[in-house]
Amino acid sequence: MIMRHLLLLWTGDHPAQCEVCKSKSSGGKKGCRRCKLEGVYLPDQRHYYYTRFREHYRFPWEKRDLKDEIPKMTEVEQEERKTVFENLSREIGFLGVSLLHRLNALYGFDVLQDLVFDAMHLVSLNIVKRRVQYWLSNGILDKEEFGERLKRMPWSKGTVYVACFVFYLLQPKQVQVYL
């Protein structure tokens, strides 16, 4: 008896997921691969700003449907003119068709909805950065001691994540206050 198995497991940080899914991320009008969130363009900053998060927490944006998005992804992928490609990709939020979309017909895998959220890029960095800035600006942390502890931190040779050193920097009594 011969049995065949197919085990699919892949994850990555937010930039890697955007690359594999061929999504534009926050660089486009529709910056979320999961929903139809639309940004407001700020011409002086040349950036899309996503508003009304509190409102959409209670009343979420409509979810994207892979079957509706594939024709748009295909259109972008087949576009040969660079400026038209850039405008289309910015407008719909995708850079083309991901190879993972083929798994939908075979296994029901939805590349838009079934990949995990990247908590480090989407939550931790922003929250930790703001907390540390708040603690430093309000004198809760001593800036000199913070700097000294930061110098003693055994940094890796790869990318440094802010979230990894916060508890190392704080005294145990300070950690208890903010947990």
What single-letter amino acid sits at 165?
F
d(CA 37, CA 28): 10
d(CA 15, CA 104): 22
Domain assignments of the chain as residue spans, ordered by start:
14-107, 119-178
Whether the pLDDT of residue 75 is over 90: the answer is yes
Supply the DSSP string of 78-104, one letter for each residue: H---HHHHHHHHHHHSBSS--GGGHHH
Mean pLDDT computed over 136-147: 84
Average pLDDT along the chain: 75
pTM: 0.58
CB 36 within 8 Å of CB 97: no
What single-letter amino acid sits at 28?
G
- pLDDT, tens only, 7-50: 566 667 777 788 888 888 767 788 788 888 888 888 887 777 77
d(CA 98, CA 104): 11
Question: Backbone dihedral region of 154: left (phi > 0), alpha (psi from -120 to 50 degrees) or beta?
Answer: beta
d(CA 81, CA 26): 22
